[in-house]
Amino acid sequence: MKSELIESAHRPEVAVLFGAHHDAIALDATLDELAGLAEAADLGVAGRLTQRQDRPSPGTFLGSGKVDELKELVKSQHADMAIAGMDLSPAQVRNLTKSLGVRVIDRSELIMDIFARRARTAQAKLQVELAQLQYALPRLRGQWAHLDRYKGGGVGTRGPGEKQLETDRRLVNRRIRDLKSRLEVYERRTSLNISGRSGARKVALAGYTNTGKSTLFNALTDAGVLAANRLFATLDTRTRKWQIPKCEEVLLSDTVGFVRDLPHHLVASFHATLEEVIEADLVLHVVDASDPHAFDAIAAVNDTLKAIEADRVPTILVFNKLDRVSDGMDLRALLNTDPKAVALSARTGEGLDELADVVREHFLGSSHLFDLHVPIARGRTLARVGELAEVLSRDADEHFVRLKLRVADPRLSRLRAWVQSEGLELLPSA
């Protein structure tokens, strides 16, 4: 008996998955990804149920017959919960929970739970808590519905459920304001850190979760960060130097992975973390070349980049996991999407030199050469110019220091404005 109790206490939670869509192929892909998310949350998947439909039921998402089938599946598999492959309304969660007799969560709630498990730094924990509270706020009513029947006392009176709901909303809103205020401090700090690196090229790795970004980051920088074969292994941005021959200083940042329809509360909460992508000079969009749904993943990442207003940053597609690709035609179709695209394997090292060449050519091609003559007595000016442009050479006489500068397009207007404020002149270099 004692051993049975111990085994029961350590039994992982088991879930069944369900979803509805008019396209069977899209529905299977959605539930395949949902299974990966469930695994990342340390859940066992005992089965799945699908329904082809054009419009979900407003009350239970699934049709009444499918709800009965799902209830039987939950019962037969001794499942602890049911997980929807799409987002559910608060009413749908309440009705399904009542019908199934087990906890029901949707995709967004599952993703936020994974983020909560992965959060390690104080900033990441605050970001996750903010997203969870913003998600939970409109769902508070259902938590006190069991008290509504005790309402009474005539016109203008309120039952204990409504009073408790009002109290909870005030507390949650107060906590949300506090979290936003604390995260603003991190955001300002992040902005200062980024602006302090103005003398270097900033490159950010972005892409769908589990495409090998952290493995690539390690291969390019010898950083030794966690690179696990699981969704959302990286939540905190890390930045290291990337040594590219015959190229000025490059700082490479590894960022959180994206998924299709990443919950907007998480996107908003992780704005400070995603600042590295927004302020980058170049984004390397890492794609799993062996993924049969690679084009869908590319579209999902592009949507997220647009949502955070990073779609204006120059981007190069990097097709990783080349060592796992078996069909050369599929790879060629992927490479045709971008003339600068690079195929590589971060695990074996194949293609890493080509990536460095493409990045170097990108920066050199977007650079301008200038001569600048600075009076030799103006030491502070001479020190500042190195923060705004790359100094290729310097030659001095008794009156002036003659500098040959290289500056990238994104920094050109800033350099011109500073030179003008110093009363100097940029001369096109021969």
H or E segment at 366?
none
Q: Name the domain count of the chain.
A: 4
Q: What is the DSSP string of 5-70?
A: HHHHHTPPPEEEEEEEES-HHHHHHHHHHHHHHHHHTT-EEEEEEEEE-SS-BTTTBS-HHHHHHH
Per-residue pLDDT of 74-129, as tens digits, reads: 999 999 999 999 889 989 999 999 999 999 999 988 988 888 887 777 877 888 88
Same-domain check for residues 222 and 252? yes
Indicate if the pLDDT at residue 161 is higher than 70. Answer: no
Token pair listed for 418: 């500073």
Same-domain check for residues 311 and 397? no
Question: Residue 156's pLDDT is what?
Answer: 40
Per-residue pLDDT of 374-385, as tens digits, reads: 998 888 888 888
Quick one: 390 exposed, middle or buried, by C-beta within 10 A (0-12, 13-18, 19+)? buried
Same-domain check for residues 71 and 176? no
Same-domain check for residues 58 and 152? no
Q: Is residue 297 part of a domain?
A: yes
Average pLDDT of the chain, as a whole number: 82
Indicate if the pLDDT at residue 326 is higher than 70. Answer: yes
In the block, tokens 């399904």 appear at 96
CA–CA distance from 225 to each of 134, 235, 416 (Å)? 31, 12, 39
For residue 24, what are the domain limits? 2-105
CATH number at residue 98: 3.40.50.11060
CATH number at residue 327: 3.40.50.300
The reported pTM is 0.70
The more confidently predicted of residues 105 and 2 is: 105
Indicate if the pLDDT at residue 198 is higher than 80. Answer: no
Same-domain check for residues 12 and 127? no
Same-domain check for residues 255 and 356? yes
Helix axes 122-136, 160-195, angle to 10 degrees: 140
Same-domain check for residues 359 and 371? no
Instruction: Evaluate the CA torsion angle 235, 237, 238, 244 in order and state its sign.
Output: positive
Indicate if the pLDDT at residue 157 is higher than 50. Answer: no
Question: Residue 342's pLDDT is what?
Answer: 95
In the block, tokens 């950083």 appear at 223
Angle 335-240-128 from CA coordinates, rounded to 5°: 85
Q: Is residue 309 part of a domain?
A: yes
Q: Is residue 110 part of a domain?
A: no
Same-domain check for residues 299 and 316? yes
Same-domain check for residues 255 and 374? no
Indicate if the pLDDT at residue 158 is higher than 50. Answer: no
Indicate if the pLDDT at residue 159 is higher than 80. Answer: no
Highest mean pLDDT among 156-160, 230-234, 393-397: 393-397
Q: Are strands 367-375 and 400-408 parallel, antiparallel or unpaired?
A: antiparallel
Highest mean pLDDT among 178-192, 227-241, 291-305, 344-358: 344-358
Same-domain check for residues 185 and 245? no
